[in-house]
Amino acid sequence: MKICWDNLDSMELTEYGFKNLKNYRIYQEYDSCSHCGEPFLGEHRSDTYCSLSCANTQSSINRYIGKKIGSLTVIEYIEKGLWLYKCDCGVEVVR
């Protein structure tokens, strides 16, 4: 969760971290998001991204690389919806 006044208004600082007064969850402050570098509040130690938009950038791309779709295998993400595929016959295709 990104740190902003709207999020902090519904929280109180306790000895364990920031307690959300709406759902009573405890959040810890982390130094930097793995994607944008901003400090953020996270629920678990394994949280590395401040928001879903930061998490979906690189991790969603990596999830598809190496996957087989029919006779095509995803090789790499090029840009804005363009992917490089390799066919079983050895031909590389950009779609």
pLDDT in tens, 35-81: 788 999 988 877 888 888 887 776 667 778 889 989 999 998 887 77
Q: Cα 43–45–48 angle (5° rounding)?
A: 85
- Contact residues for 65 (Cβ-Cβ < 8 A; gap 6+): 74, 75, 76, 77
List pLDDT tens digits, range 7-22: 888 899 999 888 988 8
19 CB burial (10 A radius; 0-12, 13-18, 19+): middle
Contact call for residues 48 and 41 (beta carbons, < 8 A):
no
> Has residue 86 got a pLDDT over 90?
yes
Residue 40: how many CB atoms within 10 A of its CB?
A: 22
Q: What is the pTM of this model?
A: 0.54
Q: Mean pLDDT in the chain?
A: 86
